[in-house]
Amino acid sequence: MLKRGLSWTLACMVGAAATQALAESPRSAIFLHPDGMGANTWNVVRLQQVGPDGRLAWDRLPKVAMYVGPMLDSVNASSNGGATTHAYGIRAHLGAFGTDPSGQRPNAASGRPTTVLQDAMAAGKKVALINSSSVTEPGTAAFIASVANRDDEAEIAAQLLAAKPDFLLGGGETFFLPKGTKGRHGEGMRTDGRNLVDEARAAGYTVVFTAEELAQVDQSATRVLGLFATEETFNELTEEQMTKQGLPPFQPQAPRFDRMLAFVLERLRDAPNGYLVVGNEEGTDNLSGENNVPATLEAAAGADRAIALALEESKRNPALTLVVCSDSDNGGMNATSDDLDELPLPLGNRSENGSVLSSDGGKPYLSAPDRRGKQIPYYVVWASNSDMAGGTVARGIGPGAALIEGTIDSTRIYEVLRFGLFGSD
């Protein structure tokens, strides 16, 4: 029934020619996870980037649903628990990293102990994992690795390499090198003596360490490992610390999230059996945890550029499903102009009820111009410095996105990806 309804909807929206193209094209999917971003965070990004009357790439995704994502033992998700739910389609516990409460790899909603990415690989589809943090970060790594402790990043790195994804891009060089071995970005921390960088080259990977090297990778390279920082590719600091140390939000040697996505799409779009990309922008989560407004918005703007790239790809390929969501709202970032005419300048560091208040050096931030050309002043208040439940949204386009409507459970993301990749199997 769902399959017939979907075909009818596509025929109405894009015509018989596009519906025929869907039937003939290999099915593919892109899952983008701008971590820690609630609808309230997207609202601040919109104000900054395009103004109150503008629309982001995120806004242009036609399918939308409220996302509800509790864990078995928590009202809010952890990064590892949420990723486990996305990868397996089951309600996970807070400490899960590809594990069930007994510590074993769980059976997915399919009935098998495999993630949707592992199923895609088994079906002959190409796969890519991209992350602005370490490649061992759970937003992407939980689609392959299963560990009892999310801090066991040496084991996670070993499991990632053993699985042989086609493209693995992010930070985390330290987890691939033995302790005492100097890498391009810092020293290794592995205690088992294994040099996973050498092992990756022996397995046929082209290994690169900078944005410049990534841009120079030959189009014929079929496996690429990018390790662009010791750990994460951003500087996880408060705004005050970042200013004092003279550091930018993102490390200059590393490619941004959208550039990593562009790289893999150029090499995957013609995959004969289709592909799956799982991408995690972690800066939006960790930097909002620092209550750092400029850095969080810088990360979020990069995530929106990645969404724009994926939207363009969906125009080329009617058999592509794109789904975008976060599993939590980190920090509870909110914009307001409330009582600005009554507040003394410079603005303080706390609002009237004691919540953290952020401003532009004591002055209100100014939005991008609205349709009248007016920039509207506002300030930002924060509810916390950690993950919270509520205000999260799932959006998408393409065949699998037919399942994104109303209010959905976090387990639905797995279903969207499976339907997008395999149809009504």
Residues pairing with 128 in the sheet: 167, 277
pLDDT of residue 95: 96
348 in a domain, yes or no? Answer: no
pLDDT band at 25 (very low <50, low <70, confident <90, very high): confident
pLDDT of residue 155: 98
56 in a domain, yes or no? Answer: yes
pLDDT of residue 328: 95
Q: Is the pLDDT of residue 3 over 70?
A: no
Q: Is 13 helix (H, G, I), strand (E, B) or coil?
A: helix
Amino acid at 261: L
Q: What CA–CA distance (Å, rounded) separates 48 from 50?
A: 6
Domain span at residue 298 reads: 25-70+117-332+383-422
**Longest alpha-carbon distance in the chain:** 66
340 in a domain, yes or no? Answer: no
Residues pairing with 357 in the sheet: 381
Task: Give the mean pLDDT of 341-346.
Answer: 92
Cβ neighbour number for residue 409 with a 10 Å cutoff = 15
Q: Can you spell out the DSSP letters for 386-414? A: SEESS--EEEEESGGGGG--EEEETTHHH
Task: Give the mean pLDDT of 188-214.
Answer: 98
Q: Is the pLDDT of residue 19 over 80?
A: no
Q: Is 184 helix (H, G, I), strand (E, B) or coil?
A: coil
Task: Give the mean pLDDT of 88-114.
Answer: 97
Contact 45, 300 (CB under 8 A): yes
| Geometric angle at alpha carbon 139, from 292 and 130, rounded to 5° | 90
Q: Is the pLDDT of residue 314 over 70?
A: yes
Q: What CA–CA distance (Å, rounded) separates 114 from 105?
A: 8
233 in a domain, yes or no? Answer: yes
pTM: 0.94
**And the tokens for 45?**
């990004």
pLDDT in tens, 29-82: 999 999 999 999 999 999 999 999 999 999 999 999 999 999 999 999 999 999
18 in a domain, yes or no? Answer: no
Q: What is the length of the chain?
A: 425
Q: Which of 164, 169, 142, 166 is nearest to 153 (CA)?
A: 142
Q: What CA–CA distance (Å, rounded) separates 284 from 132?
A: 10
Compute the mean pLDDT over every residue in the chain, rounded to the nearest whole number: 94
Q: What CA–CA distance (Å, rounded) separates 255 from 246?
A: 20
156 in a domain, yes or no? Answer: yes
292 in a domain, yes or no? Answer: yes
Q: Give percent of the chain with pLDDT exceeding 70.
A: 94
What's the CATH number where 33 sits? 3.40.720.10
The helix (run of H) or strand (run of E) holding residue 229 is: none
60 in a domain, yes or no? Answer: yes
Q: Is 178 helix (H, G, I), strand (E, B) or coil?
A: strand
* Total H helices, total E strands in the chain: 13, 16
Number of domains in the chain: 1
pLDDT of residue 62: 98
**And the tokens for 247?**
């550091």
Q: Can you spell out the DSSP letters for 105-146? A: PPP-TTSSS--HHHHHHHTT-EEEEEEEEETTSHHHHTTT--
pLDDT in tens, 148-189: 999 999 999 999 999 999 999 999 999 999 999 999 999 999
Q: Is the pLDDT of residue 6 over 80?
A: no
Q: What CA–CA distance (Å, rounded) separates 40 from 46?
A: 10
Distance set, CA 223 to CA 167, 265, 276, 388 (Å): 6, 13, 15, 37
